[in-house]
Structure 1
Amino acid sequence: MLRTAFALALLCGPACAAGPISGPATVIDGDTIEVHGTRLHLYGIDAPEPAQNCETAQGRTYRCGRAATRALRERIGAATVTCERREAAKGRLSAVCQVGGEDLAAWMVAQGHALASRRITAAYTGQEGQAWATRRGLWAGTFEKPADWLQDRLRVEASAGSAAAE
């Protein structure tokens, strides 16, 4: 029994370890980072996907997914990120991550680079309301919610795949 538990711990790696994970971070996208080989989704938020476009108030299209990724990368810089794991959502490990004591998810939502995921937590709805009121980031123009954009994209790809198989 002890051998099985040890083997599972080795297979899981740092993702299964208890306690915080801390160190330099690689930004994957606007709501996902990697710390010491462990990929973590920022708990309670949803940022535009890397390929997602949005529109400015003037109707100009821009790559809002890349803008969110860039904003998170610049906010973290070379700083140490400390993350407290949360329950896995949609098969991915989530965490509340901080730089210098500041919650990165709260910062992303406050800057308008991500939306609060209300079905996960109400923790960031205040920041989202403030970003909306001041027309920051995504709220300065028009956009499709990242989850809806991704679902539409997957549906289109599935339709294209089934049409090609016929």
Structure 2
Amino acid sequence: MTRRAPVVDGDNIDIRGARICLNGIDAPESWKKCQRQDSSEYRCGKAAAFALNAFLAISRPTRRERIDFDRDSRIVANCFRADGQRVNAWLVRTGNAVDWVRYSHDAFAGTQASAQAEKMGIWRGNFTTPGTARAKRVHRKPTC
């Protein structure tokens, strides 16, 4: 399916009212703050969402290839811009999301290693992985 895709957050978009979770990646939540190298804080979750929106705006519409449904009945998909760029991989490559190995089976391991080595996005400073941050916020054990 190909449509214009409004951004919900750093790893979720909407296509015609259907929530699409980007397969195999995990971006910081909108409320999440990360630390830069100089120890100043910034909203890395909002930064990821803004970056995703700008990336999608370059070449619309967005195409999705459904992989599955998550526990909340949202579509889990690999997404592509109109020019063929892989959205999921781009988010990891730019340091706006991490490889969620539990679901990606290491599909983005090399991409993440490059982002980390080049200190892209969240790799420029200190951060808590998105799954750990979510679990801590609701006082549960991380599942990732």
TM-score using structure 2 length: 0.91
Residue type of the partner of 1:143? F
The runs of at least 4 consecutive aligned structure 1 residues that moved more than 3 Å come to none
Residue 101 of structure 1 aligns to a residue in which SS?
coil
Asked if 1:128 is matched to 2:112, the reply is yes
Deviations 1:60-94 (A, max 9, x none): 00000000000000000161000000112333321
- Aligned residue among 62, 65, 74 for 2:54: 74
Which is greater in Rg? 1
- Aligned residue among 76, 93, 99 for 2:75: 93
- Aligned residue among 149, 158, 164 for 2:133: 149
The structure richer in helix per residue is 1
The equivalent of 1:42 in structure 2 is 22
Residue type of the partner of 1:34? D
Greater relative contact order (Cα 8 A, min sep 6): structure 1 or 2? 2
TM-score using structure 1 length: 0.79
Q: How many residues align?
A: 136
Mind listing any 5+ residue stretches in structure 2 that lack a counterpart? Answer: none
Task: Report the aligned-residue RMSD.
Answer: 1.2
Residue type of the partner of 1:51? W
CA distance in 2, matches of 1:132, 1:107: 14
CA distance in 2, matches of 1:73, 1:154: 28
